[in-house]
Chain A
Amino acid sequence: MKRLAERGRVDRSRALSFTFDGRSFSGFEGDTLASALLAEGERVVARSVYHGRPRGVFSAGRDEPSAYVQLGEGPRSEPLQQATRVELVAGIVARGLAGVGSLSDEPDTDRYDKLHAHCDVLVIGGGPAGSAAAWAAGRAGARTILLEDEAELGGHLLGVPPSAPDTAARAWLDDKIRELASFAETSVATRTVATGLYDGGTVYALETRKRPGDPASAHRIARRLWQIQAREIVLATGALERPIVFSGNDLPGVMLANAGRAYLNRYGVLCGQQAVVFTTNDSAYAGALELVEAGCRVACIVDTRDDPQGELVARAQAAGVDVRVGSAVAIAHGGSSVEAVDVGRLDGESATAPDLERQECDLLLVSGGWDPQAQLARHVGARVLARPTGGGFSVDVPPRRTALAGACNCTFALSSALLEGIGAGERAAAARGFSAPPEPAPEVDEPLAEAPRPVFFVAPPDGDLSRCYVDLHRDTTAADIKRAVGAGLTSIEHVKRYTSAGTGADQGRTAGVNVAAVTAELLGAPLSEVGLQNARPPTVPVAFAALAGRNRGEMYDPVRVTPIHEWHVEHGAVFEDVGQWKRPWYYPRGDEALDAAVLRECAAVRASVGMIDASTLGKIELRGPDVVEFLNRMYTNAFDTLAVGSCRYGLMCTLDGMVFDDGVVMRVDDERFIATTTTGGAAAVMDWCEEWLQTEWPELEVYVTSVTEQWATVALAGPAARNVLARATGIPLDNGSFPFMAIRDGAVAGIPARVCRVSFSGELAFEINVEGLSGLSLWEALWEAGQPDGIVPYGTESMHALRAEKGYVIVGQETDGTVTPLDLGMGWIVSRKKPQHFVGKRSLGRTDTNRPDRKQLVGLRPTDPSARLPEGAQLVLDPDQPVPMRMVGHVTSSYESAVLGSTFALALLESGSDRNGEIVYAPLVDGAIAAEVTSPVFYDPENERRDG
């Protein structure tokens, strides 16, 4: 192997040094890692995954099954990269792998991004057909995107001499590729590979923006995931050469014929000194002739066909190449590299006659034919059919609004591929209403190819199949497939799972058809019956990080904070995640722990006044002539009786009658309400409303709008709340003018506000709502106004403790989707009078929903007043019973109390409403806690504190 002085697209003036398997090498700008290693004479670049056999470079592209490397070091070390797809960059470090990669412990320092694109016509594949299609669509004026996996357009033509097959046609195509770039509405994305096709014209593609190790692109994001919405799609994804299965076909030095040709023409690398070419078709002849021209001895061309008469065959013969017709390579010999092959006459489709002839060689180029690559079409369910000629499979009916052009459509001649590409591009553009006067495709002077004689598998005369590799990447041999078939398996999907053939990182590109063909042969079934393994996205391995994009760390999920957040931070709040929100959990003073802070905050509210930022509560504005009807259907209680200027606590159920969400609903006008929801449930309630309005009750004219962030809400709670608020507003606040559950509009601290008299603590309380951006001003004004009364800010934990003392439930804490309003002792909120059939009503009438022994909300007081029941503790009646114990309920909430002189808890307990005074037990790992069942209302059961 050697680098030629001329030939190829590499820049010989720019030498690049790199490290492979700990040794230093050098290549050129324009090389791949594979071409540079080949130029340096490296034949063994990896080991096989199970058998540990030496493996070399087998292909020149995405189909590479063998030459896998771990690329880079430290934070940028990337597993299982194909050496054939690594663009050579100075200083890169790689090591050959045995099919298993490793993950670096150092944090990935690269950045990843996403891009959403829309187009009329998406062309996938920038070879001749795809480039022609994009040109045709683009010049018609359609918004066109062309995706090309490689760094430049041209497809397989990059691997053939500039004159092949026709200089004029090549010039025409180069011209169109240049022209493409000038279309205003056309974009060409290179190094961008389509990874998946999804229903509705959605295509994902992965763009590599940063070449690993390249300082020139170091500032860039590493990869970008495109999500493309295309109205029309042209697949021009080409074809791949199929290897042939024979004994020793995995030896380094055995290579796909087109790869040998590409290394010569694209990289100026001669892969051997003495070659044998084994082919079923004409395509390998062109490369063989070029090898001869470059100084390689082509010992013979082994052609499966009995009497090939094509133009290229004649030229090979004229050049003195020994063409052995009706023959096959049965065995390749060698240690770490191919040294000789045994050639014999084909005896039937896949066996060779016993008398074999040895031929020495250091390079064996193989062409089993060409397989169209249309996996993308199969992602959305397109079926494949066995091809009548050429072997393999092709797409039966393309997906909706998708056309196939070029080799992926079995159109292999350049002239036909260009025509087909232009036609597909024009039709796709026309489907979107764009057209341009036709411009003819060029005539192409190219040799006419004869029909191939597909041979997939050549069994050696001794019948030993253990070195006949069907899948080089997964180390699957024909012997493995024979074993699978022998075990009784007939489905290709079973064979795949039995042997793991086709499941590797190379997506089984070189293996797929041969697995089917060998299976068919061993079963004695036609290829059409065996079929092809399923194609599953993505088409190429995609780094997890590329899919995560920017959604990492802080941006994994949006952080939502209220307009008052900075004040909480400045005042030392410890935060709790509630849904996406950061809420103050408690405000420790100094190094005060949670429990101490909560006791202090609660005591202040009970004794004087506290303030809490309630802005995170979901707020939904509902308007329209049918809004009352809608609310009556959604909530268990009635809203037609709610007067303007008042508010009411409401409860929603799911269809099965279980509590779904709760909140206060304000009637601000005849046809206008604002409903509050739980913080975590806001989006779900909004969705729930829309679902019913859009799918079940489209006749109702109601408009629902999320206004959570449009309002900021501050609650003042405690006996001094009225004094504090009075210092900031002129709204009359006495009980007569402003009774419980009333709402009043007016100015608070000079800010237009809506004030509600609701209480979640049992104390006199006001909730002041202002436009969101004024939230902080309101908070600070009330903070000032509260100073004479020693106002304290309190967090969610104190809010929870205070409401628990009053027996108020939290949806999601006291409830878990299995709790009815009646279970919570809230039968009063389930209207029996209103005419509407509200959501969940029917289920509330079911027998089980009315069982008296359901779990019901109770209070618990530990018999040892200092013992604290853990939330989530299970309850039993007899703590000494053997496991499995009969559980009768569980603790939902548990706190210390500033006013009760003991801990206390809420629980759901079987027949709980009949168990007042009984003792229940919570068996824990370190012993049981006993507690007395009480009413869930621990504090101020007469509601005497509500009015201050």
Chain B
Amino acid sequence: MSHHFEHPRDLWRAKEPRAAYDVVIVGGGGHGLSTAYYLATNHGITNVAVLEKGWLAGGNIARNTTVIRSNYLWDESAAIYEHSLKLWEGLADELDYDLLFDQRGVLNLAHSLHDVREGTRRVNANRLNGVDAEWLDADAVKEFCPIVNTSEDLRYPVLGATLQRRGGIARHEHVAWGYARKATELGVDIVEGCEVTGIDVASGRVRGVQTSRGPIAANRIALVASGHSSVLAEMAGLRLPIQSHPLQALVSELLEQRLGCVVMSGAVHVYVSQAHKGELVLGAGIDSYNSYAQRGSFHIIERQMAAAVELFPLFSRAHVLRTWAGIVDVTPDASPIVGLTPVEGLYVNCGWGTGGFKATPGSGWVLAQTIANDAPDSLNEPFSLERFASGRLIDEHGAAGVAH
């Protein structure tokens, strides 16, 4: 018999939209809900509506592989993700919801001298930024995660790994529902089945939105709709530097616990963890074409499973139970855009690419700050839209994987 998790008896109640709000948040996903929550708790702003086109938290918050870590290379990224990780560390208590947040450690494997160099660089940068990071050699990798294939016969042998022990996983819908529950308790309106069809702009500032359930006035509007950001921004006349791609993930059937940490590999491209219930949760790279359809191509999955079996021979007879895709918004430097726009009162939070889940608390926290003050927090200031004009990019693609 397995342990069965029970959610609280009360979550949130669907609301009819009112005619006007102080703040309208477009997008009822993880980031939108955390933004509403922090507006209410940190800034006392509760006359807020979260508008969701479909069912609440049904986008990428429901579709990701729940990896949480903060070991980013650049100072700006490390700062915002570390802020987020610190929020994660107190979040279950704060939301009074068991998020199944488990700091079981995140390994990032190195398979080439180039990977080793980049991994070392990252560990050094993390350490000096105050982010926990360790370099493990292949033997230490085996010790930390015995089921990883560290044999030298591997096509790309494991040469070592970075380890962030504070990294881990959480249960995605618990996070979204926890924010939704608290936000509604504080007076935020959650409106489901409410699609934004237009953004009213007059004299350079926002006035409200048109929706499938009628117009809603607001002087401050935040677009927090990953996978659809560029479509929404265009309604306000903004062209965002965003490419939208499908990103697929999958789970296995329920299996006895075998994998006690998160393992990521860039060269043998897959990332995997085992959820508390027992299913293996896996993801890999984005589909290369642009799309808004939440489905991907199966050859990506084939490739990913080959990588999984290569790294974990044990997984050979595990089964893919379910695959799905979310749409990720990718910026030219693979870093998010969080902040003001040229339209007064209109804020964007997008472009988190494949890394949005782990940022859920931090992203909402800084966006709430930005909305409340009509000015960015120091944490999200570097992630401005203007950086694409100035060239002050925060390139998190990592090194290009090229060598003579």
A interface residues (Cβ-Cβ under 8 A, vs B)? 47-52, 76-80, 98-105, 107-108, 114, 196, 198-199, 202, 204, 225, 227, 379-381, 475, 483-484, 486-491, 493-494, 497-498, 500, 503-505, 507, 534, 536-538, 541-545, 547-549, 551-554, 556-557, 559, 576-579, 617, 655-658, 660-661, 678-681, 684, 760, 796, 799-800, 810-813, 815-818, 843, 846-849, 870-874, 876, 883-885, 887, 890, 922-925
Contacts and interface: CB of A to CB of B under 8 A. Distances in A.
Interface stretch (B6-14, B17-25, B210-218, B347-355): B6-14
B390 A544 contact: no
Most buried by A among B6, B12, B306, B402: B402
**Can you list the 9 inter-chain pairs with the closest CB atoms, starting with the nearest?**
A872-B120, A812-B402, A541-B319, A846-B391, A872-B121, A848-B391, A547-B305, A108-B316, A491-B55
A488 to B, nearest CB: 5
B125 interface: yes
Interface in B117-147: 117-125, 127-130
B253 A678 contact: no
A658 B392 CA distance: 12
A536 B322 contact: yes
Contacts of B173: 497
A475 B124 CA distance: 48
A537 B250 CA distance: 10
Contacts of A52: 1
A576 B111 CA distance: 10
B156 interface: yes
A847 B306 contact: no
Residue among A49, A101, A534, A923 with the highest chain B CB neighbour number at 10 A:
A101
Given A49-B1, A544-B318, A815 B400 contact: yes
Contacts of B12: 488
Nearest to B122: A872
- Please indicate which of the listed interface residues B120, B305, B389 has the most CB atoms of chain A within 10 Å of its own CB: B305
Contacts of A657: 391
B260 interface: no
Nearest to B318: A544
Interface of B: 1-4, 6-14, 55-56, 58, 62, 75, 111-114, 116-125, 127-130, 153, 155-156, 173, 192, 252-256, 258, 268, 277-278, 293, 295, 297-299, 301-303, 305-310, 313-324, 332-333, 387, 389-393, 395, 397-404
Contact of B11 (A50, A76, A487, A813): A487
Contacts of A494: 55-56
B399 A812 contact: yes
Contacts of B58: 491, 493
A123 B388 CA distance: 51
A23 to B, nearest CB: 22
Given A98-B1, A225-B302, A847 B390 contact: yes
Contact of B128 (A381, A484, A545, A923): A923
B160 to A, nearest CB: 11
A50 B4 contact: yes
A100 B278 contact: yes
A617 B402 CA distance: 11
Contacts of A101: 253-256
Nearest to A102: B256
Nearest to A490: B14
Contacts of B309: 544-545, 548, 552
A483 B8 CA distance: 9
A503 B399 CA distance: 39
Given A103-B315, A105-B314, A800-B404, 14 more contacts: A100-B254, A103-B317, A108-B313, A487-B10, A491-B58, A538-B321, A544-B315, A578-B404, A811-B404, A812-B114, A816-B398, A816-B399, A849-B391, A872-B117
B124 A812 contact: no
Contacts of B323: 196, 536-538
Nearest to B282: A544
B402 A818 contact: no
A874 B401 contact: no
A661 B402 CA distance: 8
Nearest to A844: B391
B128 A680 contact: no
A500 to B, nearest CB: 8
A370 B294 CA distance: 29
B322 A503 contact: yes
18 contacts: A51-B1, A79-B255, A102-B256, A198-B295, A487-B10, A507-B321, A541-B253, A547-B306, A557-B156, A577-B111, A577-B112, A578-B112, A800-B404, A811-B404, A812-B114, A846-B389, A876-B128, A885-B128
Contacts of A578: 112, 403-404
Given A101-B253, A380-B295, A812-B402, A552 B310 contact: yes
Contacts of A873: 120-121, 124
A680 B401 CA distance: 7
A196 B402 contact: no
Contact of A80 (B192, B253, B301): B253
Instruction: Name which of B12, B254, B307 has the most chain A CB atoms within 10 A of its CB.
Output: B254
A493 B177 CA distance: 13
A148 B403 CA distance: 49
Nearest to B172: A497
A103 B295 contact: no
B395 A817 contact: yes
B317 A493 contact: no
B155 A816 contact: no
A188 to B, nearest CB: 23
A213 to B, nearest CB: 14
A603 to B, nearest CB: 21
B391 A483 contact: no
A50 B2 contact: yes
B295 A381 contact: yes
Nearest to A546: B305
Nearest to B7: A498
A49 B254 contact: yes
Contacts of B4: 50, 475
A722 B275 CA distance: 64
Contacts of A556: 155-156, 268, 306-307, 310
Contact of A848 (B2, B155, B390, B401): B390
Given A552-B309, A796-B404, A108 B128 contact: no
Nearest to A655: B332
Contacts of B122: 872
A505 B402 contact: no
Residue in A534, A847, A874, A890 with the greatest tally of chain B CB atoms within 10 Å: A874
Contacts of A538: 320-323
Contacts of B305: 544-545, 547-548
Contact of B400 (A381, A542, A655, A812): A812
Contact of A557 (B14, B123, B155, B318): B155
B306 A883 contact: no
A804 to B, nearest CB: 11
B314 A547 contact: no
A559 B112 contact: no
B8 A487 contact: yes
A102 B255 contact: yes
A554 B156 CA distance: 9
A615 B212 CA distance: 62
A155 B105 CA distance: 49
Contacts of A848: 387, 390-393
A551 B120 contact: no
A543 B156 contact: no
A78 B128 contact: no
Contact of B129 (A107, A684, A884): A884
A871 B116 CA distance: 9
B320 A542 contact: yes
A577 to B, nearest CB: 5
A206 to B, nearest CB: 10
A452 B395 CA distance: 62
A786 to B, nearest CB: 22
B2 A100 contact: yes
A79 B387 CA distance: 51
Contact of B403 (A76, A98, A679): A679
